[in-house]
Amino acid sequence: MHKLIDISFHYNEAMTEPETVINRYKESNEYLYYLNKWLVVRSVKHINYIGTYTNNEVLYRFYKGRNKFFYISFNTLKYIKDEKPDFVLIQGLCFPIQLLITKLILPRSCKVLVQHHVELPFTGIRRFFQKIMDRYVDAYLFTALGNAENWVKAGIIRDEKKCFEVLEASTYLKQQNKEISKKALGLTGENNFLWVARLNNEKDPLTVLSAFAKHIEVELTARLYMIFQTNDLLEEVVSKVANHILLAKYVTLVGRVAHEDLVTWYSASDYYISGSHKESTGYALLEAMACGCIPVVTDIPSFKKITANGQYGFLYKIGDVKDLVKVLALLQNVDKKMLSEKVVEYFNSQLRFENIAVSIYDVCSILKTE
């Protein structure tokens, strides 16, 4: 079998135990277990610990490091070289120096893949190294090809044929009984909307609230529950809700909720609503769909990809209150139960960790035949 090394050069000094890092990044790493069925998989991570750990039949190797642009662990390099991989999958496009040095120690036959996360192109001298990096990358993995646009425009990716669509993450959350979930949370509305995101300009809660204010003028059965972990715009959001007679009545600012409790919120709600201006993937969207929550989201590339261009949800233009109001009006004619079931079916058939593994294996197969 061919061998693949999955590597993250990011150093998390606060983490000192293998189990902690594996559990924290489970949503973006669990595909390794399924990929391990077709390839020999090794995972390399940098935390405040040195050693080996096996989880779900995947061997993890941990090294210490530094978050310096020009830094690379020689112990990491030696391990990669000794493993003699056929493929190296680097997490993130923000490690050009590390990628270049890794490529130097590997045989020419070894293919290098890079998975895009939330990062944007560098500027200045760092962008120069990213452009050099492109010569040695065999495949770029993006949740949606539209996310590659900034990298192509910046002159970093010069051959768009090297870009492939591969989902960045998934979830193990499963839909719970809706009525039991609603009762547990005390939700009584007939059309419950759920917001799960930070309160900042990129997530754009104010556009969502403006549109929802108009929607509840004609749909008094609607309720909006807002879960948020950070509160950059909390003052503005609180003021907007408090100073609008209908928002004050039908919007609940829930605040922080433990991740393990989100499954109950997703399962109890009818719609997941987002105002995001950009996402590399959309973790909350994936979790919501796994639990049968119907998406009402912006038409950014990753959301279009995840919802099959709106076939399993509803899309509206970024920051466009009028467009969102129109979309919300369409929901009055939706068979929520039927669409919710279709959303779950689609998630289970197309958006699980197994699907990520298959996509990566397919890319590796293509690279080996070139």
Q: What is the pLDDT of residues 156-193, one digit of tens each?
A: 999 999 999 999 999 999 999 999 999 999 998 899 99
Compute the average pLDDT of residues 296-320: 98
Assigned domain for 195 exists = yes
Count Cβ atoms below 10 Å from residue 357 Cβ, excluding itself.
22
What pLDDT score does 363 carry?
Answer: 98
Q: Tell whether 157 and 265 lie within a shared domain.
A: no
Assigned domain for 35 exists = yes
Q: Tell whether 344 and 357 lie within a shared domain.
A: no
Q: Tell whether 247 and 189 lie within a shared domain.
A: yes
Answer for the pair 250, 223: CB distance below 8 angstroms, yes or no: yes
If pLDDT is split at 50, 70 and 90, which confidence band does 71 have? very high
Q: Tell whether 62 and 184 lie within a shared domain.
A: no
Beta sheet of 191-196, edge-to-edge order: 251-255, 222-227, 191-196, 271-273, 294-298, 314-316
pLDDT higher than threshold 90 for residue 235: yes
Q: Tell whether 184 and 270 lie within a shared domain.
A: yes
Assigned domain for 173 exists = no
CATH number for 147: 3.40.50.2000
pLDDT higher than threshold 90 for residue 323: yes
Q: What is the mean pLDDT of the chain?
A: 96
Domain count, the chain: 2
Assigned domain for 299 exists = yes
What pLDDT score does 156 carry?
Answer: 98
Q: Tell whether 33 and 134 lie within a shared domain.
A: yes
Percent pLDDT > 70 in the chain is 100
Distances (CA, A) of 160 to 137, 146, 156, 218, 365: 12, 11, 10, 46, 18
pLDDT higher than threshold 80 for residue 370: no
Assigned domain for 237 exists = yes
What pLDDT score does 59 carry?
Answer: 96
25 burial class (0-12, 13-18, 19+ CB within 10 angstroms)? middle
What token pair was written down for 54?
């096996």
Q: Tell whether 359 and 254 lie within a shared domain.
A: no
pTM: 0.94
If pLDDT is split at 50, 70 and 90, which confidence band does 229 have? confident
Q: Tell whether 63 and 44 lie within a shared domain.
A: yes
Q: Tell whether 213 and 269 lie within a shared domain.
A: yes
Q: Tell whether 339 and 203 lie within a shared domain.
A: yes
Assigned domain for 218 exists = yes
What pLDDT score does 189 carry?
Answer: 86
Q: Tell whether 344 and 358 lie within a shared domain.
A: no
If pLDDT is split at 50, 70 and 90, which confidence band does 231 have? confident
Assigned domain for 79 exists = yes
Q: Give me the DSSP letters along 275-307.
A: --S--SS-HHHHHHHHTTPEEEEE--HHHHHHT
Enclosing domain of residue 338: 178-350
Compute the average pLDDT of residues 226-231: 90
Q: Tell whether 257 and 123 lie within a shared domain.
A: no
pLDDT higher than threshold 90 for residue 230: no
